[in-house]
Amino acid sequence: MDFTLTSEQQMIQDTARQFAAAELEPLAASFDRGENPTAFTGNLRKLAELGFMGLAIDADYGGAEAGSIAFSLAITELARGCASTAVTVSVTNMVAEVIQAVGNAAQKQQFLPRLCSGEYPAGSFCLTEADAGSDPAAMKTTAVCEGDHYRLNGSKMFITSAAYAGVFVVWAVTDPSARKGKGISCFLVDRDTPGLRIGKAEEKMGQKASTTNTVHFEDCLVPISGLLGAPEQGFRIAVGELAGGRIGIGSLALGLGGAALDYARHYLTERRQFGQPLAEFQGLQWMLADHYTDMEAARLLLLNAAALKEGGLPFAKQASMAKLFASEKANRACYAALQMLGGYGYIKEYPLERLARDARITTIYEGTSEVQRIIIARQLLSEINYP
């Protein structure tokens, strides 16, 4: 399989790398401390101007039409500079992709140009609830049809970018009598809709500049035109969204692991112990070799999943494999890189402790590693017609 990048893909990768180095990396530590929120959202708008908020969206709506491979490459490079920015870009792209894939002409025209242009700094998914995380079919949020609108009630939690999202893709139960998972519908809810309320921001271990909030819907009236896709088809939409999002999170993890290893590699050539550079010690050389090999394998898994998605082929199993492997190996790479710096790695003056904290969530969101294993195993068994 030929993974040689096209000239457009190479340009997008180079642009993302340059932007991360010039605009994101210098501010990442301050973002982690909760500083410069205006600069953070300003960078999101700059990325929109560069075309990064609609990488796979049609040009008619302001998108770049660059595809899933370019999306993966871009998220990897942005994550090397700032994971909080990268996850915001990733989720916003997936919001746009779901609207493009499932929305009607009016919905596409209303929301896609605003997401792609940066008029909306971000988009958000409202799927997870307090008792419906890995099991989204257990959600309790309801949407009752009342003539020309739906009345939405419930709360969603752990919502990425909720504080500055312009549009929310919201899942709710519209047929409570249906079998579990079959009575769920999907809605597009504008930020200014009465009854939508953003709760407090969570205090997180990492990726702190990416706000994570509870979103409350209290007699929130959504017009019939806000229904995304057919009624009671929301669970199918969610499954498709999560599969694509896993390519984004796996790519983000790859960027974090690569950044940590690159920093440690240079450090080993400069730091001396026992009269020689640390890079001369075979044990450390082997650590580098093993973890860089893991990152290369993760890169190929992600490119494979992205290529299948871009080609319109089934990719859910490959996306889960890529996300599982990349996130687990990136966490190990970050901790190994921190270990190579010894005590310095534990100090905030150096980026390793932040990268390790930022990487930790990648094995949890967009489906935990345990859920990925379930998905992969079920697909493998279904391929041999196991009941």
- From CA 178, how far away is CA 183, in angstroms rounded? 5
How far the first Cα of the chain sits from its last, in Å, is: 33
- What is the amino acid identity at position 387? P
Cβ atoms of 110 and 153 within 8 Å: the answer is: no
Chain-centre distance for alpha carbon 304: 18
CB distance 84 to 359 below 8 Å: no
**Spatial CA neighbour of 80 closest among 11, 12, 24:** 24
CA atoms of 63 and 349, how far apart (whole Å) = 39
Integer CA distances (angstroms), 62 to 52, 53, 85, 302, 327, in order = 11, 9, 21, 26, 31
Element (H, E) at 144: strand 142-146
**Structure token pair of residue 124:** 């958000």
Task: Dig out the tokens for 231 from the structure.
Answer: 């009624």
Question: 218, 241, 366, 383: which one is catalytic?
Answer: 366
CA gap 118, 21 in Å, rounded: 21
Known catalytic residue: 23?
no
Catalytic residue positions?
Answer: 366
